[in-house]
Structure 1
Amino acid sequence: MTKDKELILRRFHLVCIVILIAGIIIQFSDESEFSVGMSKSELTHIPRDLSPKTKVLDLSQNYISEIHLSDISLLLELKVLRLSHNKIQYLDFSVFKFNRELEYLDLSYNQVQKISCHPVMSLKHLDLSFNDFDALPICKEFGKLTQLHFLGLSATKLKQLDLLPIAHLKLGYILLDLEGYYVKENEIESLQIPSTKTLHLVFHPNRSFSVQVNISVNIIECLQLTNVKLNDSNCKVLIKFLSEIIRGPNLLNFTLNHMETTWKCLVTVLQFLWPRPIEYLNIYNLTIVENIEKEDFTYSKTTLKALTIEHIAIRVFIYSKSALYTVFSEMNIMMLTISDTPLVHMFCPQTLSTFKFLNFTNNVFTDSIFQHCSTLVKLEMLILQKNDLESLFKIGLMTKYMISLKILDVSWNSLEYNIHDGNCTWVESIVVLNMSSNLLTDAVFRCLPPNVKVLDLHSNRIRSIPEDVNHLEALQELNVAFNSLTQLPGCGALDSLSVLIVDYNSISSPPADFFQSCQKMRSFRAGNNPFQCTCELRGFIHSVGQVPSEVVEGWPGSYVCNYPDSAKGTPLKDFHVSPLSCNTALLTVTIVATVLVVAISVTVLCVYLDGPWYLRMVCQWTQTRHRARHVPLEDLQRTLQFHAFVSYSDHDSAWVKGELLPNLEKEDIRVCVHERNFVPGKSIVENIINCIEKSYKSIFVLSPNFVRSEWCHYELYFAHHNLFHEGSNNLILILLEPIPQCNIPSKYHKLRALMTQRTYLEWPKDKSKHGLFWANIRAAFNVKLKLVTENCDVHMLKMSEDPT
């Protein structure tokens, strides 16, 4: 697009008044660090407690009736004062003599009838419009306001030289309120207006347009008329009025606000303006009354570049739509905007059209618009926002003959694409396509212009972007925000992609290699997605830190964790997880290594600290306690006289008497030993059997000496027989000294079997282990028994080593 075309578009979209007023306000607002807004606060006077550093003060829409010097004299830095829509009746400019920084003063929509002048040299914006002045409130002091840019005035009477004191000023904008202006019929007055860039005249809203003043202006660029009410009879009044003002080539922009007219008068006005030097014609809030019939229109050579009509109300129920559409469709201008209207269609121009820009926003156009239209060959930009478009396939067909079309906007419609419609046909010239806020799904990627560079699909129903979008090689900017995407699209097939917007979707785990696959990415926005802060996200977070900060927009504010709950709300930049927990291979190696270290450590401890012995003793103690706990008490409360019968060799009696008996009997364990408890007169075998049967447990002290004692073998035999007969675990084997299996005679097969099958306790040589040993012995008697008091004869019977 050439520089000339760009300039045309810019000038078309900017209205002089908006630029001038907004520019001043923004400038003051930016400079103001101390701004006080008290609009609509039901104030009756200016507050006295304002900060002396106040720069912007808004007191509009209150009930203030007076301004006193003391009210604002301390506000030495005040730059902007808004007092519009109050009840002020008198204004003395001397109250502002201490406000030397004051640049913006708005006193519009009050009841001011009279003013007293005093120079306020810094004023740039002074609005006294919509008040109750009889004559224009101009005094000679205004001529000193060399910085004045905007001036708003009201009057019911006008005189030719009213504005003479400011004739030398270079004003940018003059607003003249003529709502109350009225003179007797046939009394025509004149008013000479100083040179200004913009002249805005406001007429009475409920009166038919009637100008009883000759207004002349030397130089004017923008003219605005507000409240223009016309009919077929007074239409010529407006034509005559415009003839007086539009004389030179300087008037480029003409705007009509709140215009009520007939269709015939509107066409007449357009026909009048067509050959004039005006380049931009704007009509806002147009109401068409009476009837709409075919009117002849001569499209002569014109300098008009753009016609804008926004918000049309048609108060005609039955009319010829062709009469309406034809006038606009055949215009020989570059840019046409008709928006916010009830138009349902627009004709295709009958001859090759000069249109380069068409804007039909917020109408009720259907898919039939411009179908098979081959005359819009120069059209470069087409806007069809907010209409009743439904078929994307038909929209593609619409562009078929628009060979110059570069920009197409069909957002805010009800567009859908059905793959059964077939392959879409698009003109290849489209490079910018806006299809946001429609009903499009994933299938839309099968129906796109081949050379599109900027694609806007936000606010649709897209769940995924197909990987086979190879036909979009030229795509540079893609906006798919506010959809239902679960995966971040890569740049595999979109190798030219440099701008991607995917915020407000359902993306939880963006791939770590996204920026590696999208080397040309210069702007990326993916905030406000439900990110799952798990191991999979670590790579993406790391990759964000590797790209320039200006590439990832919204980082880190809009990038927060949504899952798990423990991390919800945490910014992604603050999310950290251990690399070990995310690396399976490393975690496996670490676990294996730890197990090996523990195993080696345990082995070393077992070797050097006799670990196996402790382990066996603990197991034995546990098993003993378990058995004692699960033996029924009624089975234990038999006719028992002893807790234990001890069988040992006389060669081991020193250990029995010095270690075993003292440690058991101090715990109130009654022990039966042959030396003191065998009954004299009974045979040895009878005594053995009798003592075993009257004892809860039988303790055997095993040693090589025990193996060589045949009486010990008998005792072991009878005890084992009793164990088998009773079905209990009443044997306790204590290994006093190691007994090699080879040293046990084969005839002592019961001893050999018991040492193989049953767990025995080893007497430790290390004194530090004795405590655990005795704990295991006592655990076997952890049951309260009711022993009978009948005593065995205490005659000692010496048991010899050899019964023979």
Structure 2
Amino acid sequence: MMKILESIPPISSAFIILFTSMLVFSNTQLPTNNDFIVKHSKRFLDRVPKNLPSETTMLDLSENNLSLLLSSDFSSLTKLKLLNLSYNLIRELDANIFRFNSKLQHLDLSHNHLKNITCSSLQHIRGLQYLDLSSNKFENIFHCKEFSSFLHLKYLGLSATRIQTSYLKEIEHLGTLHIFLGLEHLSYYEPGSLQVLSTDKLHIVLPVFIQDTFILNDIMNTSRTLEISHFRCNKSCDYLMESLSTISKNSKVSTLIFNNITVTWQDLIQIFKAVWYSSIECLKVHHLMLVGEFPYFVPFNYAKTSLKALSIQHSTSKIFYHRGPPHPSQTYSEMMIENFTFVDNDMIHFICPSKPSIFRFLNLARNKLTDTVFQNCDNLPLLETLILKYNRLEKLSAVSTMTSSKKFLKHLDVSNNKLQYENGEDCHWSETLLTLNLSANRLADTTFGCLPINVKILDLHNNQISHIPKTIMTLTFLEELNLAFNWLTELPDCSHFSSLAVLHVENNSLHSPSSHSLQICQKVRVIKAGNNPFRCDCDLKDFINWGKQSAGDVIEWPESYMCQYPEDVKGTLLKDVLLSEVSCNTAVLLGIILGTLAGIMLCISCLCLYFDLPWYFKMMWNWTQTKRRIRNTNPKDIQKNLVYHAFISYSQQDSIWVKSYLIPNLEKGDGSVQICQHERDFVPGRSIIENIINCIERSYKSIFVLSPNFIQSEWCHYELYFAHHRLFTESSDNLILVLLEPIPQYLIPSKYYKLKALMAKRTYLEWPKEKRKRGLFWANLRESINVHLPKPNQETVKVFNINQENDSEPNTCSLNLIENTTYSAVL
């Protein structure tokens, strides 16, 4: 990872320029992630700091007071690739100073006090790609045989006060170099010296005063690209024009650059005329200062030129009037060249050519052009690219009208203006327009009602668009749409853009892009949607899954995609947010809930069937109804309602014993003991359950004749159930268990848990098999039911008796009235 010492102040502009020069001139890269940068510029140092980190790869010591460099200063920096020592006071270099820096690629010693260099000091750094020795105090261009070993050198900066042919011999073979010559203090020049050079590019700073044309004549044929800086037209302009005229159609130079020059308008026109019929194909004039006045327009034949491109950038005019007409800008509009750039020159209008022009590329950025530019201009039939950014355009409809007559216009850039569009304004775009840049304007949603129908690349970033109206025209051919830095709250409706492949919506107000938007934008291959205030809830789940699955096509994923809401996940990367399918999918959640409930109900149903719970619920309901009736009855009335001494519950299979032994031995025939028997005492018309409960309520005791047959009878179990409930609800000892036959525990079903409990906890009478013991048995049984009962009311008189025996249904209590089953009251 790239490291910069924390104690070091921010990188200066000089250091940035240094890195830029590395990129441009030496084909090396700017600092990479593996570079270790140490910066000590502007620290008033008079010595190289000691103990520099051995891993340092880039070291900046510029703008200090260093005067002497020792051989040990950089001996520990074996990984050093860049060293900036510019703007110091260095007078000389030690012969072994770079002995341990064989990996050095970039060395800047410009703007020092060097008068000479020991060539042996360079023999250890033969991998140099960039070497700047300009702006020192060299008298002559130093010559070293070591230059023959610099096979990778791409940039060489030199300066001298004397130029001689012999001193340039050592570098003449470096034909691919970019050579910079600072000759502002030149005192002597040997004619023909610069002609030995054969370079790709020669950048020369001319002397302040030029005495003759020798140096100008020589530089006009030394390289393919020639840059002349710091030139001022006074008396020397004649020398320049004369030298420019020597550039013929067969000359080597093809690109001519004037940088930081001061001329009159007449001189500028003469420069144009001088190069018009030469070998120059590209003329660039940067940082132009115009002085004097504009003369009357002088006709000039612009035909048959080799010039293909003219660029004038950053000009300042001290001319406040002209003698026109016509306007001086007509000089530019009438030029018969393909490419014209006129940038940052305060131009307020560009005159339409008077006849069909061959302009294919026009760059008029950073001027003061208004909506009137190119209106009703039909003489730009071949124009393909028009750049009008950073001007004063205000109406989008006027811009569209401006393009309507340009039948070959493909690319238009009107960004960084003040463009607006109101509904109802007429728009007439060129049908050939493919690329349109409308960024950084004041355009709103209505803009989509005024767009070229065949556009393929549309840039609308940094405007005031909140959504795309549903009524817009369909842009069938649109492939790339940039809506970054707007006010969008939802992804655009891609149904209007059937060919859309690239979409930029970063830095908007997107909270939760809907799944519907993602579905209709399935054809979009590349999307950039980072730096939005995402709300990380279930509505964002589809977008997160889509981002994970398409990470290669989502630009800056995942580092630019973070949650903004809610607060507990603010700052969390979207890829790290966990949103389960269950919590976000209502259908899945409902299915799980219903499935769980169905499972629970199924389990309950199985348990109910297994434990015979329906029977218990039925009995509880009947018992509840009975208890409600009892609560509404006076307790004294309940005691008065006792009619029977005992109620007998038995299985039908045991009815012979009951009728032959039990009842006769209890009643004795004298009426002193009243036994409730269902066959004679149940009231017709009432339900079986109600009869059972009434008999239990009107009987002092309940006698249960227990046998294996008893446990097989459902109705016997009902009667036992009710009797057991009475035992607990009335706190009465009303149950008498008579064991007719032994009952093994394993024969008792699990649902008869009450019977098991009663047999385990209560004393029961066991029917003796020996006759001699039966007298005591009957005595005990009669004694247990011996009680004085109140006289019965008329209502209690038996309505009917049933003495018929029924031998069917062996597994039920004996009752012949209903289902041939015997019912007994249960306490």
1:26-54 per-residue CA deviation (whole Å, 9 max, x = no partner) reads 34755964443333343322233234444
Structure 1 residues 517 and 603, CA gap change in structure 2 (3 angstroms): closer
The answer for the alignment partner of 1:72 in structure 2 is 74
What is the identity, as a one-letter code, of the residue corresponding to 2:374? F
What is the identity, as a one-letter code, of the residue corresponding to 1:308? S
Among candidates 445, 448, 453, match of residue 451 of structure 2:
448
Judge conservation of contact 1:208–1:228 (CA < 8 Å) in 2: no
Matches of 2:268 and 2:545, distance apart in 1: 64
Return the offset for 1:325: 0.9
The answer for the alignment partner of 2:318 in structure 1 is 315
Structure 1 residues 287 and 738, CA gap change in structure 2 (3 angstroms): farther
Matches of 2:256 and 2:200, distance apart in 1: 12
Return the offset for 1:195: 1.3
What SS is found at the alignment partner of 2:270?
helix
- Pairs within 5 Å for 1:540-579: 540-547=543-550, 549-579=551-581
Judge conservation of contact 2:59–2:84 (CA < 8 Å) in 1: yes
The answer for the alignment partner of 2:184 in structure 1 is 179
Among candidates 413, 437, 441, match of residue 440 of structure 2:
437
The answer for the alignment partner of 2:474 in structure 1 is 471
What SS is found at the alignment partner of 1:81?
strand
Matches of 1:706 and 1:438, distance apart in 2: 97
Judge conservation of contact 2:227–2:258 (CA < 8 Å) in 1: yes
1:156 and 2:161 correspond: yes
Structure 1 residues 100 and 610, CA gap change in structure 2 (3 angstroms): closer
Return the offset for 1:280: 0.8
Return the offset for 1:86: 1.3
Judge conservation of contact 1:430–1:452 (CA < 8 Å) in 2: yes
Return the offset for 1:503: 1.4
The answer for the alignment partner of 1:410 in structure 2 is 414
Judge conservation of contact 1:28–1:79 (CA < 8 Å) in 2: no
Return the offset for 1:582: 2.8
- Pairs within 5 Å for 1:295-306: 295-300=297-302, 301-306=304-309
1:531-553 per-residue CA deviation (whole Å, 9 max, x = no partner) reads 23232332333344454x43222
1:203 and 2:210 correspond: no
Structure 1 residues 166 and 30, CA gap change in structure 2 (3 angstroms): same
Structure 1 residues 303 and 288, CA gap change in structure 2 (3 angstroms): same
What SS is found at the alignment partner of 1:379?
coil
Return the offset for 1:557: 2.1
Identity of aligned residues (%): 36
The answer for the alignment partner of 2:514 in structure 1 is 511
Among candidates 269, 278, 285, match of residue 283 of structure 1:
285
Judge conservation of contact 1:397–1:426 (CA < 8 Å) in 2: yes
Return the offset for 1:252: 0.7
1:371 and 2:375 correspond: yes
Among candidates 272, 283, 294, match of residue 270 of structure 1:
272
Matches of 1:210 and 1:359, distance apart in 2: 38
Matches of 1:474 and 1:302, distance apart in 2: 39
1:398 and 2:402 correspond: yes
Return the offset for 1:68: 1.2
What is the identity, as a one-letter code, of the residue corresponding to 2:373? I
What SS is found at the alignment partner of 1:90?
coil
The answer for the alignment partner of 2:129 in structure 1 is 124
1:214 and 2:215 correspond: yes
Judge conservation of contact 2:202–2:222 (CA < 8 Å) in 1: no
Return the offset for 1:513: 5.0
Moved more, 371-380 or 276-285: 276-285
What SS is found at the alignment partner of 2:193?
strand
Matches of 2:237 and 2:249, distance apart in 1: 19
1:344 and 2:348 correspond: yes
What is the identity, as a one-letter code, of the residue corresponding to 2:161? T
1:745-791 per-residue CA deviation (whole Å, 9 max, x = no partner) reads xxxxxxxxxxxxxxxxxxx99999xxxxxxxxxxxxxxxxxxxxxxx
Among candidates 234, 244, 258, match of residue 256 of structure 1:
258
The answer for the alignment partner of 2:525 in structure 1 is 522
Return the offset for 1:596: 5.5
Matches of 1:575 and 1:136, distance apart in 2: 66
The answer for the alignment partner of 2:389 in structure 1 is 385
Query: What is the TM-score normalised by the length of structure 2?
Result: 0.69
What is the identity, as a one-letter code, of the residue corresponding to 1:401? S
What is the identity, as a one-letter code, of the residue corresponding to 2:365? T
1:313-363 per-residue CA deviation (whole Å, 9 max, x = no partner) reads 112233468432111111111111111111111000000001000001111
Task: Count how many residue pairs are aligned between Structure 1 and Structure 2.
Answer: 639
Return the offset for 1:115: 2.3
What SS is found at the alignment partner of 2:201?
strand
Matches of 1:410 and 1:738, distance apart in 2: 106
1:109 and 2:111 correspond: yes
Matches of 2:186 and 2:790, distance apart in 1: 152
- Pairs within 5 Å for 1:723-738: 734=730, 736=732
Structure 1 residues 466 and 203, CA gap change in structure 2 (3 angstroms): same
Moved more, 433-442 or 43-52: 43-52
What SS is found at the alignment partner of 2:231?
strand
Matches of 1:560 and 1:599, distance apart in 2: 45
Structure 1 residues 738 and 376, CA gap change in structure 2 (3 angstroms): farther
Judge conservation of contact 2:265–2:294 (CA < 8 Å) in 1: yes
Judge conservation of contact 2:375–2:401 (CA < 8 Å) in 1: yes
1:674-696 per-residue CA deviation (whole Å, 9 max, x = no partner) reads xxxxxxxxxxxxxxxxxxxxxxx
What is the identity, as a one-letter code, of the residue corresponding to 2:167? D
The answer for the alignment partner of 1:676 in structure 2 is none
The answer for the alignment partner of 2:425 in structure 1 is 421
> What are the ranges of 5 or more consecutive residues in structure 1 without an aligned counterpart?
1-16, 621-644, 652-701, 710-731, 740-763, 769-798
Judge conservation of contact 2:343–2:367 (CA < 8 Å) in 1: yes
Matches of 2:274 and 2:20, distance apart in 1: 27
Structure 1 residues 20 and 568, CA gap change in structure 2 (3 angstroms): closer
Structure 1 residues 803 and 416, CA gap change in structure 2 (3 angstroms): same
1:268-301 per-residue CA deviation (whole Å, 9 max, x = no partner) reads 1112111111011111111112222334252342
Q: Alpha carbon RMSD of aligned pairs, Å?
A: 4.2
Judge conservation of contact 2:165–2:190 (CA < 8 Å) in 1: no
The answer for the alignment partner of 2:748 in structure 1 is none
Matches of 1:402 and 1:272, distance apart in 2: 32
Judge conservation of contact 1:209–1:228 (CA < 8 Å) in 2: no
The answer for the alignment partner of 2:139 in structure 1 is 134
Query: What is the TM-score normalised by the length of structure 1?
Result: 0.71
Matches of 1:245 and 1:110, distance apart in 2: 36
Return the offset for 1:648: 8.4
Judge conservation of contact 1:515–1:521 (CA < 8 Å) in 2: no
Matches of 1:428 and 1:18, distance apart in 2: 41
Judge conservation of contact 1:103–1:124 (CA < 8 Å) in 2: yes
What SS is found at the alignment partner of 2:42?
coil
Moved more, 320-329 or 372-381: 320-329
Among candidates 435, 450, 462, match of residue 459 of structure 1:
462
What is the identity, as a one-letter code, of the residue corresponding to 1:341? N
What is the identity, as a one-letter code, of the residue corresponding to 2:156? L
Matches of 1:90 and 1:211, distance apart in 2: 34
Judge conservation of contact 2:547–2:557 (CA < 8 Å) in 1: no
> What are the ranges of 5 or more consecutive residues in structure 2 without an aligned counterpart?
1-18, 625-635, 643-692, 701-727, 736-753, 759-786, 793-827
What SS is found at the alignment partner of 1:192?
helix
Matches of 2:212 and 2:536, distance apart in 1: 72
Return the offset for 1:238: 1.7
Return the offset for 1:507: 2.1
Matches of 1:256 and 1:354, distance apart in 2: 25
Matches of 1:257 and 1:20, distance apart in 2: 21
